[in-house]
Amino acid sequence: MAAAEQLKELGEKLQAAAPAPADELAKLLEKAAECLHGIEQSPGSSVMEAIQPSLKAFTREEFLKHEDEDVKVLLATCFCEITRITAPDAPYDDDVLRDIFYLIVGTFRGLSDVNSQTFGRRVAILETVARYRACVVMLDLECDDLITDMFRTFLEVVSDSHEENIVKSMQTIMTLIVDESEDIQESLLHVLLSALGQKKTGAAMSGRKLARSVIEHSARKLEPYIKKFLTSSWAGDGSSLNDQINHHGIIVDVYQCAPKVLKVVVPYITGELLADEVDIRSKSVELLGEIFSLPGAPIVEYFKTLFSEFLKRLTDRVVEIRISMVEHLKRCLISNPSRPEAPEIIKALCDRLLDYEENVRKGVVAALCDVACHSPDAIPIDTIKVVAERVRDKSVAVKCYAMERLADIYKLYCQRSSDSYSDDFEWIPGKILRCIYDKDFRSESIESILCASLFPPEFPMKGRVKHWVTAVTHFDKAETKALESILLQKQRLQQEMLKYMSLRQLSQEDAPDLQKRIVGCFRSMSRSFSDPAKCEENLNMLHQLKDGNIWKLFTSLLDCSTSFEKAWSLRADLLKILGEKHALYDFVGALAMRCSYLLVNKEYAKEILSEASEQKTSGNTKLISACMNLLTAISSFFPSLLSGLEEDIVELLKEDNEVLKEGIAHVLSKAGGNIREQLASSSSLDLLLERLCLEGTRRQAKYSVHALAAITKDDGLMSLSVLYKRLVDLLEEKKVHLPSMLQSLGCIAQISMPIFETREEEIISFITTKILECNDCQQDMVENSSHKSEWGDSTQNCLLKIYGIKTLVKSYLPCKDAHAHPGIEKLFVILKNILTYGDISRNMVSSAADKAHLRLAAAKAVLRLSRQWDHKVPVDVFYLTLRISQDDFPQVRKLFLCKVHQYIKERALDAKYACAFLFGVNDYHAPQYEEFKHNLIEVVQICQQVKMRQLSVQADMNLLTAYPEYIISFLVHGLAHDPSTPDIEEYENVKAFGPIYWRLHLILSILLGEEGLQHSVPGMKKESFTTMISIFKSIKCSQDVVDGNKTKTLHAICDLGFLIAKRLCNDQTNLSEAQTVPLPAQLYMPLLDNQNKNSVESDEKMWLGCEKVLAHFDAVMTANIDKVKSPKHKMLIDETDEFGNEVPLGKIVKLLKSQGEKKTGRKQKTPSSSVNAGNVDDVLGLVREINLDNQGDLGESQKRKPKKRQTETKEINEKPLDFSSPKRKRSISNNRPHSAKSSKNSDEHLLHTPSKDRTLETKLKEKKGRHDSTDTELLVSPSSKTPVSKGNKGAKKSHSDILNSGPKKSAVADSNKRTVEPRSLNGSLKRQKPKPISGLVKCSTHDSSSTGLVGHRIKVWWPLDKRFYGGVVQSYDSSKKKHTVLYDDGDVEVLNLAKEKWMPIESNDSSVKKQKKDHLLTNQGRAQERTTSSSKSSPSQQKSKKRSLPQKRKGQPKNKRRKTAGGNKSVEGSSGAGGNDSDSSSSLALSDVDKDINSGMIV
C-alpha cells in the first residue's frame, strides 16, 4: 500500500511539473519503476485508483517523445510493469498503446551494447514482453510496420555475446507474432528471409541462427508463404523485394530448419542443373553441395532424385564444375561418412579417376584420401587400391600427389594400428617402391617418402620394424628388387660421400690430383639425383663452405651407429646452420637424408632379429621369412650394421626352424666377410653350416657353402676342402640327402675350382652313370611312370637328374677366373641328347612329363652356359634350344621363354636367342603373337641402347653385332634348318611357307618401327632398312657352313625377307648404300671366287616363288585388317573418347565430314546429297546420309540373297543396324530413312529393343492405315536445340512444331516393299521423305480451346519420361486459352493443349468418345495433307487400333519430367537455348527402356 501511495505522489508530481531536466526526470521514473515492480499483478481497486495518476502521467506527450535514452528506457520499464500489473486488461486505449509499443521496440536497439548501464533494464523489458505475450497486442493494433521493425532489430542486434535467455526471449516474441498472425506480411517475410544465407558470417551469423530457429518453430505457418516466395523468385515475376534476396542463399538454411518447405523448388533446381548456361549450373552445384554436406542433415526423400541429378554433374562438360563437384562430395562424406548415399558417392568419384582432365583426377585422389584420413573406415580398401593406381597416371603431378597421399594414409594407419593391429594397408610400401620403375620418379623422391612420410617421427623402432616386416610379406619380386635398388644407390652415395670426406682431409701437396678426384666424386654422386648437372653445381658450392660444424655433422650422419632420433636431430642442426633462405637449403636437406642411416641402421637390424625370434615362438613362418628377406637385403648393402649382433645370429642358426636356418645362412653369405672377426670366436658355426651342406635343403646347402667361404680368412679354402672330401665320400652312401649334396658340390665348383678339380672325374662319372643313365630297376615303376603325361606328374628320379645337370653346369660357371674345361664338349653332347630325346639316350624309358622337365632343364642349362661360353655352344644345340619354344607342353614353352626374356633384359644373354620368340610364332593369329611381339620390341630396344652406348664410346669400331638387325642373320639360318621348312622348289603350296613369312614379317616390321617400336633418333628407320638389306645381300654372297645343301634355302629366305622389307618401307628404295657385312662365322662362309662371281651375276635373279608367297600372305593380312577395322555392325561415330568422355560436337562434325568424303570416293553422289559438314545445323544431314549409304548397301545385299534365305532371315532383317549418332535430350530429327519391313500385325506402336550396352536401337514396324502415316525411328543429333529462354523469343518451338517442321511431301512408297531402296547404277539413292509419327503428332482436338473438355479425363505426353500421364481437366481459362489438369498422382499443371501432345481417355460418356473420334479424324486429315502421293491401302490395312501405352504403376515415384505449356517453364528439367556446354536439350525418344542421355555429361 505504501508503494501505491508513493506512486500516487510521483504521478501527481509528474503531471503537475513542467518539463524537467533529463536527470531529474530519470530519477522520478526510476523511483516509479521500483514502486511498480513492488505491486503484484491484478491488485485491488484501491491500489489501482492510487496508481492512476502515474498511469496518466506516463502518457504525457513530452514524456513519450523525450530524446534522452535513459528516460526512454525507464519509461518503457514502467510501461512494462503497468502491462504486467493490469494484465490481461489493456491499461490504455489503442492510440496510446501504439505509442508505448513504439517506445518499447525502440529500446530493443540498445541490446547490441552489452556494456551499457541500461542493458539490464532493456533485457528486463524484453523478457517481460515475451513472458506476458504483450507482443500479441501489436497484432490487434495492426502495427505491421512496427512488428517488421522489431524483427529487423532483433536480427541485427542479436550476437553470440548474449546469454541464452535473451536469445530465447527474442525467439519467443517472433514466434508468437508469426503463430498469432492471420496473414504473414510480405515485408515481415522479407526481413526474416534476408537474415538467411550460407554466406552470412560473423555478427550476421547470430541473426541467421535466430531466423532459422523462428522458421523451424513456425514452419507450418510459414510454409505456404515461403513456398510462394521461392516460386515467384525462381520464376522471376516476384516483387522488387523478392528480387533483392538471393533465393539460393536461403535454401541451405531453410533445408536445415524446414526441409518440407523446399519440396516446391526441386523442379527448379533440377532445371538449373540441366541449364545451358555454365554459371547457372555452377551456382546450382554450389547450392546443392552446401545442402548435402550439412552435418547431421540427411537427404530427405523428395531430394533423392535431385541428389541423383547432382551426382551426374560429375560428368559435366565444364572442368570447373567437375572440380567443384568433387570438392562438395568430399565434404558430404566428411560431414557424415556413414550416410546411406556414401557407396554411391564413392563409386561416382572412382569413375572420375579416369577423367581426361588431370586436375579432376588429382581432386578425386585428394577427396578420397582426405575422407580416408578423416574416417579410416569410410573408404573401402578396394577403393584405396583403385586410387593407388593413379601413381601410374600419365600426369606427373597426379602420380606424385597420389604417392604422397598414400604415404599419408599409411602413416595414419600405423598410428591407429598401435591399438588394434591389422594388415589392411601393408601393401602401400610395396606400391610406393614400384614407382622406382617409372621414369618420372627418381629414387631420391621415393627414399624421401620411405624415410620421412611413412611413419611419424616419434614412432617407436619396434613398431617400424613390425610394419616393415609385414609389408615385406606383400612384396613380389619387382618390389623386392625396387627396395634393393634404393639400398644400392644409398650405399653408393654413402661410399662416395665418405671418399669425398677423406679427400677433404688431404692437402694439395699430399695429393696433386686432389681437385680432379673431388670432381670425380661429385660426378659419381650427382648420378643419384634427378638433375645431375644441378647437383654437381650444388656440390661445388657446398665444397666452398668453410664452416667446420657442417662437416662434423656430415661425419656423424655417415656413422652407422647413429640412432634414428640422433640422425634427425643432426639433419635439423645442419639445416639450421644454413638457414631457410640459403641457396643450398633444399639440396643439403635431401643430401643429408640420402647419405645418412635414416632408412636402416644398427638398431633397425637388431630389432629385425628380435622380431624373427618372437615369430619363431609363435610359429608364423610367413613373418619369419619376411624378417630374413629384409635382413638379407640390408646385409647385402650395409653388412656393417650387423656388427655386434653375431651372437644373436648364431643363436638363431641353432634354432630348430628350417626357414630361420635358410635365412641366417643367406645373411652370413652376404655379410660374413665383414663380421668374420667376431664370428671367429664361435667354434660351432662351421659345424652348423657343414651340417646344412650335408643334410639341409638345397637352398640351405647353397647359402651355407657361400657362408663358409665368406666367414673364413682363406676364402673357405680349408673348410671347403674338408667339406668337399666328405661330400664326395658320401655320394655312394647317402641317397637321402643327395639333392643337397649335389647342390653343395656345384657351389664348391663355382667358389673354388681348384678344390673341385681334385676329384672332378669321380663326380662327373657318378652323375653320368648313377643318375643320368639310371633307370628304375622295378618294371612296374617304369610302366607307371611311362603313363604320366601331366606336367605335374614328374618323378623323383627326374628331379634327381635335373639336379645332376645343374651340378655339371655349375662346374663350368666359376664365380671368378673363368676358363673353359676340356670336358665342356661332353656336357654339350649330354645336353643335345636330352634336348633331342628328352633323356640322355634314346633307349631310356620315362614318362612324357619327365622328358618335358628334362628338356626344359637342358635348355636352361644351355642358356646359362651361353652367358659365358656362347662361342662354345654348337650350332645344332643352339637350334635345339630355340625349338623348345615349340614344345608340346605349354608350361615348357612359357618357362623357357620367360627365362630367355629375363636373361636378355639383364644383358646376360646374346640377343640372338630372341629368335626363340619367333620360332614360337607359326601364324598371324597365334595366341601368343601379341605377347611375343611385345617381348621382341623390348629386346630390340635393349639392343638399340647397347648400340648407341657403344657407338658413343667406340665410334671407329665395327659394332654390327650390337645392332638389333643382326638377329636376322641367325633367324634366316635357323629358318633354313628348321625341320618344318618346305622345299623351296615346291613353292606352289604357298600356305606351307606361312611360318617363314610370319616370322620374317614380325621381326622386320618391329625393326622398321611398324609394330610399336619408336625410333628415338631421326634417320634410324632408314639406317635399319639399309642394315637389313646389307645382311640379306651378305647372306646371298655366302654359303651355309653347317649344311651346304641349305644354301639355296638361305638365299630364298633372304629374297622373301628383302621383298617384305621393301614392302614395309616404301620410301627406302635406294639400295646403293647396302654393303657386305661380316656374318657369324659358325653359320656362314664366303663363297669361293668363281661361286661368288656366279652369285653376283644371279643376284638380280630372285627365288621364283617369292612374289607368289608375298602376294598371298599380303592378301591374307589385308583381309584381316579390313575385318578388324570395319566390323559389319560398328557404329559410324564413337560417342565417347578413350576416357569415356563424350566426343565434342566439332569433332563429330569432322568425323562425319571425313566419312562422307570416303563415301564420295567409293560411290559417286548426286549434288542433292552433298552436305555442308562445316555447319553445325547440318550434322543431321551428315548422319542421315551416312546411314542411308550403309542401309542402301544392306538393301543391295538383301536383294542378292535367295528368296528362301530372305524368308528365313526375315526377323534378322527387321532389326536395323546400329548406325546411331550421339544423342541429346529433346532434339529431334524429322528426316530419317525407313530401315524395317512392314509387319502384318504392326500397329501405331514403336517397338523397342532394350540393349544391354544402352545402345539406343528401336525395332520399327510399319503399317499403312487410315492415317497413311509411318512410324519412324527418331535420329537425334547433338546439334539440335530446343530454346526456351526468354531472351530468344524467335527461337521457341514446341515439340509438335519440331515434329512437323520437315518437308511437306513424302515419297511414293511401294505397298509391298518397305525396305530402303538400293542405289541405282549411277550411284544415286532414292531417299524417302519423312512422314508424321503416328501417335506423336500434335493431338489437340478441334475444341481444345473451349470448355468442352472440363470434367473429362485425358492423358498428356511427357517427353522426358517418354510416356503419357492421365488426369482430369478441372477448368479452362478462356482469356489465356489454358486448361488446368489434375494428374492422377496429385500434380496440377496449367497447359495450352493446342501446343501439347495429349489424347482423350475412353469412358462411358458419349461426348468423350465423340471428341476422341474427332481427334483421330483430325490427325488423319493432317497426315493426308502432308502426303502428296501415296498408294491406296487395302480395307484391312485401314483399321485403326488403339495405341498401347505403358501404365503408371501404383506407388511409382513421382519423377515426371517435361516441358510446360509453351516451352517457357520447366517443372524439373528445362531446355536451354543452344548452349554448347549444356545437357538440357533432350530427345523425344519413344522407348520405355531408353535412358536420358545428357549431352553435357561425360560417361
CA angle 1316, 1435, 1208 (to 5 degrees): 40
* Burial class of residue 203, CB neighbours in 10 A (0-12, 13-18, 19+): middle
CA–CA separation, 751 vs 82, rounded Å? 114
The whole-number average pLDDT for the span 1214-1240 is 35
Residue 615 confidence (pLDDT) above 60: yes
Residue 117 confidence (pLDDT) above 90: no
Question: Does residue 95 contact residue 50 with C-beta atoms inside 8 Å?
Answer: no
Evaluated on CA atoms 752, 753, 759, 761, the torsion sign reads positive
Q: What per-residue confidence (pLDDT) applies to 509? A: 67
**Residue 1232's closest CA among 1320, 1363, 1332?**
1332
Instruction: Report the range out of 576-580, 1433-1437, 1480-1484 with the highest average pLDDT.
Output: 576-580
More confidently predicted of 329 and 1248? 329
Q: What per-residue confidence (pLDDT) applies to 303? A: 85
Q: What per-residue confidence (pLDDT) applies to 983? A: 87
DSSP helix/strand/coil, 1450: coil
Question: Does residue 1384 contact residue 1398 with C-beta atoms inside 8 Å?
Answer: no
Hey, which residues does 1390 pair with through a beta bridge? 1380
CA–CA separation, 37 vs 49, rounded Å? 17
Instruction: Report the range out of 603-617, 1177-1191, 1238-1252, 1323-1337 with the highest average pLDDT.
Output: 603-617
Question: Does residue 1189 contact residue 1132 with C-beta atoms inside 8 Å?
Answer: no
Residue 1125 confidence (pLDDT) above 80: no
Residue the block writes with cell 531417299: 1327
Task: Give the C-alpha distances (Å, rounded to integers) separating 138 from 41, 42, 157, 177.
Answer: 21, 22, 21, 9
Segment holding 1110, helix H or strand E: helix 1106-1125
Q: What is the pLDDT of residues 303-329, one digit of tens each?
A: 888 899 999 999 999 999 999 999 999
The whole-number average pLDDT for the span 93-117 is 84
Question: Does residue 462 contact residue 419 with C-beta atoms inside 8 Å?
Answer: no
Q: Give percent above pLDDT 90 in the chain.
A: 28
Would the pTM of this model clear 0.75, i.e. be above it? Answer: no
The secondary structure of residue 1491, as a DSSP letter, is -
CA angle 902, 907, 913 (to 5 degrees): 65
**Residue 722's closest CA among 710, 701, 708?**
708
Which amino acid is it at 1383?
Y
CA–CA separation, 565 vs 577, rounded Å? 19
* Burial class of residue 1228, CB neighbours in 10 A (0-12, 13-18, 19+): buried
Question: Does residue 532 contact residue 493 with C-beta atoms inside 8 Å?
Answer: no
Q: pLDDT band for 76, please (50, 70, 90 cuts).
A: confident
Considering only 272-281, 427-436, 515-524, 1452-1461, which range has the smallest mean pLDDT? 1452-1461
Q: What per-residue confidence (pLDDT) applies to 1297? A: 42
Considering only 718-732, 850-864, 1118-1132, which range has the smallest mean pLDDT? 1118-1132
Residue 1417 confidence (pLDDT) above 90: no
Q: What per-residue confidence (pLDDT) applies to 1437? A: 39
Rounded mean pLDDT of the chain?
75
Q: What per-residue confidence (pLDDT) applies to 294? A: 86
Question: Does residue 407 contact residue 428 with C-beta atoms inside 8 Å?
Answer: yes
CA–CA separation, 1302 vs 1308, rounded Å? 16
Q: What is the pLDDT of residues 1045-1095, one digit of tens each?
A: 999 999 999 999 988 888 888 755 566 667 788 888 889 998 875 555 555
The whole-number average pLDDT for the span 1129-1151 is 49
DSSP helix/strand/coil, 1354: strand
Considering only 3-12, 332-341, 462-471, 825-834, which range has the smallest mean pLDDT? 3-12
CA–CA separation, 308 vs 312, rounded Å? 7
Question: Does residue 666 contact residue 632 with C-beta atoms inside 8 Å?
Answer: yes
Cβ within 8 Å of residue 1135, ≥6 positions away: 1142, 1143, 1221, 1222, 1499
CA–CA separation, 1020 vs 1005, rounded Å? 14
* Burial class of residue 558, CB neighbours in 10 A (0-12, 13-18, 19+): middle
Q: What is the pLDDT of residues 1267-1297, one digit of tens each?
A: 333 333 322 333 333 333 333 333 333 333 4
CA–CA separation, 298 vs 291, rounded Å? 9
Residue 1191 confidence (pLDDT) above 60: no
Task: Kindly report the number of other CB atoms within 10 A of residue 1381's CB atom.
Answer: 26
Q: What is the pLDDT of residues 811-830, one digit of tens each?
A: 888 877 656 567 788 899 99
DSSP helix/strand/coil, 1451: coil
Q: pLDDT band for 1382, please (50, 70, 90 cuts).
A: confident
CA–CA separation, 192 vs 150, rounded Å? 11
Residue 1266 confidence (pLDDT) above 60: no
Q: What is the pLDDT of residues 405-428, one digit of tens each?
A: 999 999 999 888 766 667 889 999
Q: What per-residue confidence (pLDDT) applies to 1206? A: 41
Residue 1192 confidence (pLDDT) above 50: no
Q: What per-residue confidence (pLDDT) applies to 1363? A: 85
Q: What per-residue confidence (pLDDT) applies to 421? A: 65
Residue 968 confidence (pLDDT) above 70: yes
Considering only 832-836, 1096-1100, 1236-1240, which range has the smallest mean pLDDT? 1236-1240
The whole-number average pLDDT for the span 1358-1367 is 85
Question: Does residue 97 contact residue 137 with C-beta atoms inside 8 Å?
Answer: yes
Residue 845: phi and psi, rounded to 5, are -105, 120
Question: Does residue 1401 contact residue 1366 with C-beta atoms inside 8 Å?
Answer: yes
Q: What per-residue confidence (pLDDT) applies to 1337? A: 36
The percent helix, strand, coil of the chain (3-state, each to 5) is: 60, 5, 35
Q: What per-residue confidence (pLDDT) applies to 1149? A: 56
Question: Does residue 497 contact residue 558 with C-beta atoms inside 8 Å?
Answer: yes
End-to-end CA distance of the chain: 86
Q: What per-residue confidence (pLDDT) applies to 1086? A: 87
Residue-by-residue DSSP string for 349-396: HHHGGG-SSHHHHHHHHHHHHHHHHHSTTTS-HHHHHHHHGGGG-SSH
Residue the block writes with cell 600405423: 414
